[in-house]
Amino acid sequence: MDLLMEERVFGKLDEVNASPEYKKNVAATKRILEYVVMVPGWQDKLLNSPLKALAEIGLGDYPDPDCLKILLSREEAERANKEIKLEDMPLSVLRYRNFIREKFQSRDEMAAKDCVPKDKRFAAWRTRQRNRCWIDLGMRNASIIHTPLIFEFSLGCSVGCPFCGVAAQGLKTVFRATPENRQMWQDILRTCKEVIGPAAGTGTCYYACEPLDCPDYEVLTADYADILGAVPQTTTAVAMRNPERTKKYLEAMRQREIKVHRFSVLSLDTLHKIMAFFTPEELLDVELLPQFPEAPDNHFTKVGRARAGEVATDETQEDGTIACVSGFVVNMAEKSIRLVTPCPSDESHPTGEIFVDRRSFTDAADFAAVLESMIADNMVIDFPRTEPLRLRETITIEETKDGIEILGRKGFKLRLTGNDDIPAELYKHTAQLILTGNKSPYDIVGELMTSINAPAAHVFFILNKLGRGGIFQEPYGSK
Ligand code: SF4
């Protein structure tokens, strides 16, 4: 058991220590589950005649077909967890669970630590956006890393998916790695590293575009990895447009760092082609996303182009988002920078993004100046002490017996209770003044010092705590 826990598939290359046998087993389990979630009727086939079903997909030597039930059904998993001692659990189940846990751990570490920008203003702004998203998006926020920086090498996208969450328009321009462009690109990367620090390397080189639309994606992402010290995560919807290219790219990037990449699978036919071209081990670090309606596990989020109703959407994700950035999206093709953060998709925010700001740049030096001015204009460490604090529209505050309760969308509640140091009454008085409206932090502190002799530090403590929690409108919201 301990030995198993030491085996890892992901992590920095020199830390990855999974044996070939371990990887082969996890990759086979992953592939079997991919057939289950993407091929209609395949799960029944697997449960009724496992050996035949596995042989048909080239996994006739899978060590323990019976154990798959534990991975396929919640009831079976719960039964197994109760009845089977950990050391007796089938090895394939333990290994696959470990593999999934590694991915979740890595995602959580990115959100909490790796994606935090070096610039203090940017870091404080991102923290507020992340906390706001807990209120507005609930558990959906757990899967958002809020990367501070993303690049795009093209304007628009050649694929035109009917469910496109960012509603990408048709392909217009592509940034090419000419000598001048490459120099500008490398200089921009250096600026980002300087301002954002290691967190600059946590993003991607695609957003509202298809990465492989850029013929120089390989060269440009190699520069990214050289300068930022990290491989950008790639998700492509055209893995099979030139499968040799895709395979070669993934292999080259693996030599630098093992990272989770993704293929958006747009049809059953493409799935079969992917499975025929790539071995299970070659896709161990590549997630396959079932993006076609017949797939049993397909769930289109109602966001972006999917709001138009052309594809059936998952009603449980009615107001979702697919945005993963709380920061800058730099489009190299049109030389623009937009400042974006996720929010629930609605009529005012159809793509599930708040567009905070958007500016253009002319060259690398101008990029540095524009980036700094966008940070200075939109990101404060603390809310200005002389400007009124304004609650966001979806937030209310109510008093409780022992403090206050923050109420948000869809039943969100956060209770703040008083204690010996900061009594419940101080929370209540502070909330009353916030709700009165048009009062700045200094107004609130001054009034409470006069009316109830409140210590200024305690009132600021409450206001800062609420501010970090993402309940106030950002200063840019008033522009
Ligand atoms: S989902 Fe991705 S590949 Fe499809 S249209 Fe949108 S940006 Fe392009």
CATH number, domain containing residue 185: 3.20.20
Distance in Å, CA 100 to ligand 1 centroid? 26
Which atom of ligand 1 lies at the shortest distance from residue 208's CA?
7
pLDDT band at 45 (very low <50, low <70, confident <90, very high): very high
Residues 83 and 171 in one domain: no
- If you measure from the C-alpha of residue 30 to the centroid of ligand 1, how many angstroms do you get, rounded to a whole number? 25
In angstroms, what CA-CA distances link 181 with 128, 186, 350?
A: 35, 9, 33
Q: Are residues 249 and 347 in the same domain?
A: yes
Task: Please choose from 158, 166, 265, 324 the residue to mutate so as to test ligand 1's pocket, defined by most ligand atoms within 8 A of CB.
Answer: 166
Which atom number of ligand 1 is nearest to the Cα of residue 206? Answer: 7
Q: What is the mean pLDDT of residues 180-192?
A: 98
Ligand 1, CB within 6 Å, residue ranges: 157, 159-161, 164, 166, 168, 208-210, 237
Nearest CA to ligand 1 atom 4: 161
- Could you tell me the pLDDT band of residue 6, with boundaries at 50, 70 and 90? low
- Burial of residue 473 (CB within 10 Å: 0-12, 13-18, 19+) is middle
User: What is the mean pLDDT of the segment spanning 288-294?
Assistant: 95
**What b/e string do you get for 94-131 counting C-beta neighbours within 10 Å, with b at 16 or more?**
bbbbbbeebeeebeeebbeeebbbebeebbbbbbbbbb
Instruction: Kindly give the distance from the C-alpha atom of residue 83 to the centroid of ligand 1, in angstroms, as a whole number.
Output: 45
User: Of the candidates 102, 129, 161, which is a domain's last residue?
Assistant: 102
Residues 134 and 155 in one domain: yes
From the CA of 180, how far away is ligand 1's center (Å)?
28
Q: What's the CA gap between 402 and 458, in Å, rounded?
A: 17
Ligand 1 centre to CA of 28 (Å) is 29
Helix/strand/coil (H, E, C) string of 141-182?
Answer: HHHCCCEEEEEECEECECCCCCCCCCCCCECCEECCCCHHHH
Top mutation candidate among 155, 164, 246, 329 for ligand 1, by most atoms within 8 Å of CB? 164
Q: Is residue 387 part of a domain?
A: no
How far apart (Å, rounded) are the C-alpha atoms in residues 284 and 158?
A: 27
Q: Indicate whether 121 and 224 sit together in one domain.
A: yes
Q: Which mutation among 154, 161, 212, 301 tests ligand 1's pocket best, with the greatest number of atoms within 8 A of CB?
A: 161
Residue 255 has what pLDDT? 93
Which residue is closest in CA terms to ligand 1's atom 7?
209
- Is the pLDDT at 16 greater than 70? The verdict is no
Residues 359, 419: one domain?
no
Average the pLDDT over 52-79 and give the result.
Answer: 93
285 and 342 together in one domain = yes
131 shares a domain with 97:
no
How much distance in Å is there from the Cα of 111 to the middle of ligand 1? 24
Q: Tell me the CA end-to-end span of the chain in Å, nearest whole number.
A: 57
pLDDT at 318 over 80: no
Domain count for the chain: 3
Domain assignment present for residue 337? The answer is yes
Please compute the mean of the pLDDT values over residues 119-125 and round it to a whole number.
98
25 shares its domain with 94? yes
158 Cα to the center of ligand 1, angstroms: 8
> Who contacts 454 (Cβ-Cβ below 8 Å, separation ≥6)?
426, 429, 445, 448
Q: Which of 68, 102, 136 is the last residue of a domain?
A: 102
Q: Specify burial of residue 232 (Cβ count, 10 A radius: 0-12, 13-18, 19+).
A: buried
453 within a domain of the structure (yes/no) = yes
- Out of 209, 266, 267, give the residue to mutate to test ligand 1, the one with the largest number of ligand atoms within 8 Å of its CB: 209
Q: How many CB atoms lie within 10 A of CB 244?
A: 8
Tell me whether residue 110 is in a domain: no
Are residues 133 and 84 located together in one domain of the fold?
Answer: no
Q: Radius of gyration over alpha carbons of the chain, in Å?
A: 25
Q: How far is CA 289 from the centre of its chain?
A: 15
Specify if 374 maps to a domain.
Answer: yes
**Tens digit of each residue's pLDDT (9 = 90 or more) over 232-257:** 999 999 999 999 999 999 999 999 99
Residue from 150, 159, 212 to probe ligand 1 pocket by mutation (most atoms less than 8 Å from CB): 159
Distance 396 CA to ligand 1 centre (A): 37
Parent domain of 361: 115-378
- State in Å: Cα 279 to ligand 1 middle: 25
- Asked, for residue 248, whether it belongs to a domain, the answer is yes
Q: Could you tell me if 76 and 181 lie in one domain?
A: no
462 CB neighbour count, 10 Å cutoff? 22
Q: How far apart are CA 239 and CA 263, in angstroms?
A: 6
The CA 164 to ligand 1 mean position distance, Å, reads 5
Band of residue 15 on the pLDDT scale cut at 50, 70, 90: low
Does residue 128 sit in the same domain as residue 249?
yes
The yes-or-no verdict on residue 76 having pLDDT over 60 is yes
pLDDT greater at residue 110 or residue 411: 110
Query: Is position 86 within any domain?
Result: yes
Distance 475 CA to ligand 1 centre (A): 33
pLDDT at residue 307 in the model: 81
Residue-level pLDDT at 3: 46
- Nearest residue CA, atom 6 of ligand 1? 164
pLDDT confidence band for 281 (50 / 70 / 90): very high
Quote the ligand 1 centre to 371 CA distance (angstroms): 27
The two structure tokens encoding residue 422: 């900061």
Minimum-distance ligand 1 atom for the alpha carbon of 167: 6
Q: Are residues 98 and 123 in the same domain?
A: no
Compute the average pLDDT of residues 23-29. 94
Q: Which residues pair with 325 in a beta bridge?
A: 147
State mean pLDDT over 62-87. Answer: 91
143 and 111 Cβ atoms separated by less than 8 Å: no
Segment 387-413 shows an average pLDDT of 93
Closest of 279, 278, 265, 273 to residue 235, by C-alpha: 265
Nearest CA to ligand 1 atom 1: 164
The Cα–Cα gap between 14 and 397 comes to 50
Pairing of strands 286-290, 261-265: parallel
Average pLDDT in the chain: 92
Domain end call among 67, 102, 137: 102
- From the CA of 264, give the closest atom in ligand 1: 3
Task: Evaluate whether residue 59 is within a structural domain.
Answer: yes
Range of lowest pLDDT (189-193, 307-311, 404-408): 307-311
Per-residue pLDDT band at 64 (split at 50, 70, 90) = confident
477: pLDDT strictly greater than 60:
no
Proportion of the chain above pLDDT 90, given as a percent: 81
pTM for this prediction: 0.93
- Separation CA 23–CA 19 (nearest Å): 6
pLDDT tops 50 at residue 286 = yes
